Structure 1
Amino acid sequence: MTEQNVVEGAQSITERIQVSLLHRHMKQVELAKLIGENPVQLNRAIHADMSPKSIEIRRKIYRVLDIKE
């Protein structure tokens, strides 16, 4: 996988989550409370951090926002 593919994949993750939040008129802080996570960790996950914790948080986000992985 090239660096460009990694960047594009990260942007795609971020955009999908942000669009879903906009459609639901929801802020990241509200989402963090809803899934029981720290807003800073949630922000890292939304911006495609690849740590195991961020991946776990994204899975919660996908379930709550009904986003297909």
Structure 2
Amino acid sequence: KQIRAFVPVFVACGGTEYEALDYMVARKIFRKFESLNLPFLQNEINDLSALIDRLFGRNVFVECQTYLSNIKKQF
């Protein structure tokens, strides 16, 4: 529901739909990773990063990839 309301507003402000989704996923979903035991999820985080690149293309979900890179550095 939030995405359906947020994306059109983001696009109206000059962004793209992909940028809006990137922002929402990085802020709403990936933030929940902070409460998990991340060292045990190393492989899954690498797989998730590769999946995002495969689904949306490289350098499209920049905020998500940056967030995942920061998580990887914590290991």
Instruction: Please tell me the TM-score bracket, short chain as reference.
Output: 0.3 to 0.5
- For normalisation by structure 1, the TM-score amounts to 0.36
- For normalisation by structure 2, the TM-score amounts to 0.35
For the pair shown, the structure with the greater C-alpha radius of gyration is 2
